[in-house]
Each structure stands twice: as structure tokens, then as C-alpha cells.
Amino acid sequence: MASFPAVLQSEWTKVRSVRSTVWTLALTFLVTLGLGALLSLLTNNNFASFRNGVDTPFDATGTSFAGIRLGELAIIVFGVLAIGNEYSTGMIRVSLAAVPQRATLLAAKAAVLGALALAVSLVTAFVTFFVGQSLLGDHRTTIDAPNVLRAVLGAAVYLTLLCLFAAGVTAMLHNQTLALGVLVPFFFLLSPILSAVPKVRTLAHYFPDYAGSRMLLVYEEAHQPYGPWAGFAICLAWTVAALAGGALVLKRRDA
């Protein structure tokens, strides 16, 4: 029986040795930072026209995180590839032979992915925030303003939970192509479409992406169904359910 620290070391070696997973994490940082910086600069240069007729408070933090929607795609792909590569190459059989305790194996994978995703997400969130604020000029906010630090940390937690959710779904499906075929339409087609349809909008409000995005709110608006902490709880519940489902499928199905 392999010890858990040894399994963690093995999973860490697997993740850092796959070039595609490294690139997806780099893209998470670059896309989130680049788009956020661009919109922050455009907002500062055209602030009067952007805010014309708008009476809600200006969310400088949210402006700097304008690129997180595409950044989350990259970290979802990272979660899928980190789990799915072993299934596509057949190496999962070797892993299960070395670690027959399947729940232990998945727990180690989730721990390594979660730690790595959180580290990258924290760097991404703080760099994106400070660069965005520097480009907003007189319209910027500060990290010690009310709810701003919580929103920046929320952005990092949000990306991390999406990565683990994607990993859990991939573990359930045993196929990275199928997992991407489910996750990408779910997050970038189904969720936005349902959010725009009045009769089913309430359902879409409890999807993991909408719930998780509430963690980035600095100003809670009256029409929002719930706030940042409830959003965190809902997104966490989706993530735990996906990982639990992945563990159940891994224990009951052959590799």
C-alpha cells in the first residue's frame, strides 16, 4: 500500500511533466491579465461614455477581472487534461496497479491539482487586480477598500473550484474529449442562454459558474438572488459532488 505522501509526489511529477497542462495554466494567467488590463485601459480612456446613464457604483475590481470568463476556460481545460491524459494514454492502469486504493488516488490527484490551481489563481488574481487598477487611473480602487480583498481572493477560489469541478467530471466520464464536449457547452452556451430566459433564469442562477462569479462582487446589487458567501457555498457543493461522483465511478468501473 503506497503512502499518501508518496502518491502526492507521484501525482505532482505527472502534472509537471505534461507540457499541455503547463501551457493551460500559463494561458489562465495571460488571458485573465491581458483582457482585464485592456478593458481597464479602455474604461479609463472612455469613462464618461461608458458610465453615461449608469447610476450604480463603478466596480473597479470587477473591471480588472473582465478577462476571467476566458481565463476560466483555460483552467477548466487544465483540470480536464490533468485527469484525462492518463485515460487517453492508458497510463491509468499503471497508476491503479501502483495505487489500488482508488479513492486515495483520486484524492491525491485532487489535492495536487487544487494546490497548483490555487497557487496560479492567487498570482493571477492579485497581478490582474493591481495591473488593472494602475490602468484605471483616477477611477481605481485599493486592496484595503471594503470587500475588495475578499473579491480578489474570491476570484482565485472561483478558478480553483472550477478546475476541481472539471477534474471530477473528467473522472466520471473517463474521457477528456467527452469531458470537454460537456463542460465547454455547459459553461459557455447553456448557462448564458438559460440566464437570459426569464422562465428558467432562476435555475441558471444555481449553476457553478454563476454562483462562483458572485464571489467577485464588491457591491451586492438588489436584484441578485444571493451574495458572495452563498455563491461560494453553491460552487463548492458542485465541486464536491463532481469529485464524489468521480470517486464513485472510479471505484465501480474498470480503467
pLDDT for 94 = 77
Burial class (CB in 10 A: 0-12, 13-18, 19+), 236: middle
pLDDT for 255 = 55
pLDDT for 102 = 78
- Cell numbers representing residue 229 in the block: 458567501
* Residues 164-194: b if buried by 16+ CB within 10 A, e if exposed: bbbbbbbbbbbebebbbebbbeebbeebeeb
Count of domains forming the chain: 1
pLDDT for 2 = 64
pLDDT for 6 = 78
What is the domain range of residue 118? Answer: 4-252
**pLDDT tens digits for the chain (255 residues)?**
567 787 788 778 888 777 778 889 999 999 999 999 999 999 999 888 877 777 778 899 999 999 999 999 999 999 999 888 887 777 777 777 777 777 888 888 899 999 999 999 999 999 999 999 999 999 999 999 999 999 999 999 999 999 999 999 999 998 889 999 999 999 988 888 888 787 788 888 899 999 999 999 998 776 778 889 999 999 999 999 999 999 898 887 655
pLDDT for 49 = 84
